[in-house]
Amino acid sequence: MTGLSSIVMSPYLILLLICHLLSDYYFQSQKMADRKDRDKKVLGLHILYVALPLIVVSLCHLDLWWICLIILLTHAGIDYSKPWVQKQWKLTNSWAFALDQFLHVGIIIILVFLGVKNNTTYLSADILKLIFYVLLVGKPTNIVFKILFAKYQPTMEDKMDTITGAGSMIGFLERLIIGACLVYGQFSSIGLVFTAKSIARYNKISENPAFAEYYLIGSLFSILSALFAAWLCL
């Protein structure tokens, strides 16, 4: 499968985007994300987590040290000023999140394309793309879905007992399977994944219209995000 990464993405860019996903999503809990706007100590801890993967990259690729330093400083500045900007511009949480991520990723892209001459990494480009895909379709996709479609979430009266975090894990595994199907050209198998999910939730779907609509939104978003991530990464 040939996607955008085979045309414009350099190994250094993928490597630094992986660092961003790790620090802004996987190293940062939801509690930390909520508190860092009010508690500067929590913000400082988050910046430390941002620095960790960048330090590793700098030690492995010495020519990237100044880019990693700029990324760290700008990340700290953006996160520090985010509450003020959101208040002044009267941004919703969705728009504030989108602006925050746009600035972080945009700075990384600009720095790589303007300042990188060597693009040789210890890991092959294919391995980096695979890691990038797995990280992208995991926690970041789940968070984006919750932010964009929070208003469609069923009320407490409409919900039924489920295991905490099971829905997010199911979506993550679903997107991994879709990615594998795309890589191996098994496009018809994607429909089987959706069918299997529907069968497992049939009783809940048939008895609860609100859940059925939310489930359909989530499933379609999961498939679209997997297709987009595969086009971007694989």
pLDDT in tens, 144-175: 999 888 888 876 555 555 677 777 888 899 99
| Contact indicator for 10, 119 with CB cutoff of 8 Å | yes
pTM of the model: 0.89
Q: How far is CA 168 from CA 142, 143, 162, in A?
A: 6, 9, 12
pLDDT on residue 3:
61
Tens digits of residue pLDDT in 40-87:
999 999 999 999 999 999 999 988 999 999 999 999 999 999 999 999
Residue bearing tokens 């809940």: 204
- Mean pLDDT of the residues in the chain: 87
Q: How many CA atoms within 13 Å lie on the side-chain side of 177?
A: 17
Measured CA to CA, the distance from residue 98 to residue 62 in angstroms comes to: 31
Average pLDDT of the residues in 85-103: 94
| Contact indicator for 2, 233 with CB cutoff of 8 Å | no
Q: What distance, in Å, lies between the first and last C-alpha atoms of the chain?
A: 7
| Residue 129 in this model has a pLDDT that exceeds 70 | yes
Region of 56 please: left (phi>0), alpha (psi -120 to 50) or beta: alpha
| Residue 7 in this model has a pLDDT that exceeds 60 | no
Average pLDDT of the residues in 12-33: 94
Higher pLDDT, 110 or 194: 110
**pLDDT confidence of 182, banded at 50, 70, 90?**
confident
Residue bearing tokens 């609860």: 208
pLDDT on residue 104:
97
Measured CA to CA, the distance from residue 51 to residue 138 in angstroms comes to: 22
